[in-house]
């Protein structure tokens, strides 16, 4: 970032150079060389701060040429009558160069903002998708919880049925153990009672209800 004070100085110097070239045509003829440098040096500093290296290079080369040109014309004793016009063209050139730099900067900023906006849009979309997925997962979890409750209920019912069955089965076996062999009807009856359990008079809960087979 260029400091605002540097920017103000640069612009003021630029305006002074242009005004000098326009309003003091005759006197400026002798000293316009100084005005050029005065106009170009802050611009050079501005380009340096902003990092506009190509414009900075052009300005630097121009300053060197102007200085060398002035020295050569002085040593040779030449008088160049078109200095003011020359200065005016140069000032316009510097203005264009600076404007170009700013334009590029603004364009960069715009592009960056567009990229950031696209990124924001993508993030927003991702978040919406995540939210939808979470909603779905939550719903599935609720469903799984309901099923698990049903499974636990079934397991509890089975548990309550199995304990009495165990008693009955053991009782039947005890009676068989103790019964006299001369009573075939009782033997048949006890065999039937023992085998009644194997007729699957109760059903096991379906596998997977309470064992986490319901995937989320």
Q: How far is the CB of 189 from other proteins (least distance, A)?
A: 17
Q: What is the DSSP letter of 179?
A: S
Give 5 or 159: the residue with its C-beta nearer to other proteins: 159
Binding span for other proteins by CB under 8 A among 13-21, 26-34, 89-97, 173-181? 173-181
Q: Are 20 and 64 in contact (CB under 8 A)?
A: no
User: Virtual CA dihedral for 97, 102, 104, 107, nearest 10 degrees?
Assistant: -150
* Phi, psi (degrees; rounded to nearest 5) at 139: -60, -45
Sign of CA dihedral 51, 52, 54, 59: negative
**C-alpha neighbours within 13 Å on the C-beta side of residue 121:** 6
Angle between helices 25-50 and 4-23 (to 10 degrees): 160
DSSP helix, strand, coil percent of the chain (3-state; round to 5): 85, 0, 15
- Considering the complex, what minimum distance in angstroms separates the CB of residue 117 from other proteins? 59
Which residue matches tokens 């499974």?
A: 151
Decide whether 85 or 153 has the Cβ nearer to other proteins.
Answer: 153
The interface with other proteins within residues 111-170 (CB under 8 A) comprises 155, 158-159, 162-170
- CB of residue 207 vs other proteins: minimum separation in angstroms? 9
Half-sphere exposure at residue 142, Cβ-oriented, CA atoms within 13 angstroms: 5
Contact positions with other proteins (CB under 8 A) in 175-194: 177-178, 194
Q: CB of 212: closest distance to other proteins in angstroms?
A: 15
Q: Could you tell me if 28 and 20 are in contact, meaning their C-beta atoms sit under 8 angstroms apart?
A: yes
185/204 with CB nearer other proteins: 204
For residue 183, the minimal CB distance to other proteins (Å) is 17
CB of 182 to other proteins, least distance (A): 19
Residues 192-211 that bind other proteins (CB under 8 A): 194, 197, 204
**Total interface residues for other proteins by CB under 8 A:** 20
Of 163 and 180, which has the nearer Cβ to other proteins?
Answer: 163
Contact 168, 193 (CB under 8 A): yes
Q: What x/- string results for residues 31 through 60 when contact with other proteins is judged by CB under 8 A?
A: ------------------------------
Interface with other proteins (CB under 8 A): 155, 158-159, 162-171, 173-174, 177-178, 194, 197, 204
């Amino acid at each position: 970032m260029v400091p605002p004070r540097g920017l103000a100085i640069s612009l003021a110097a630029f305006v002074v150079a242009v005004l000098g070239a326009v309003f003091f045509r005759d006197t400026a003829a002798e000293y316009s060389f100084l005005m050029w440098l005065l106009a170009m040096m802050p611009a050079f500093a501005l380009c340096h701060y902003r990092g506009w290296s190509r414009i900075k290079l052009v300005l630097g080369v121009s300053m060197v040429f102007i200085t060398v040109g002035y020295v050569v014309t002085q040593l040779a004793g030449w008088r160049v009558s078109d200095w003011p016009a020359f200065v005016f063209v140069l000032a316009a050139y510097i203005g264009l160069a600076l404007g170009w730099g700013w334009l590029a900067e603004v364009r960069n900023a715009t592009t960056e903002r567009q990229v950031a906006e696209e990124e924001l849009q993508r993030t927003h979309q991702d978040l919406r998708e995540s939210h939808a997925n979470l909603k779905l997962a939550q719903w599935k979890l609720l469903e799984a919880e309901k099923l698990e409750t049903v499974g636990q209920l079934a397991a509890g019912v089975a548990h309550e049925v199995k304990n009495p069955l165990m008693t009955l089965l053991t009782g039947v076996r005890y009676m068989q153990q103790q019964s006299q062999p001369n009573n075939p009807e009782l033997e048949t009856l006890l065999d039937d009672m023992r085998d009644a359990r194997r007729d699957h008079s109760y059903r096991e809960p379906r596998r997977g209800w309470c064992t986490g087979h319901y995937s989320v």
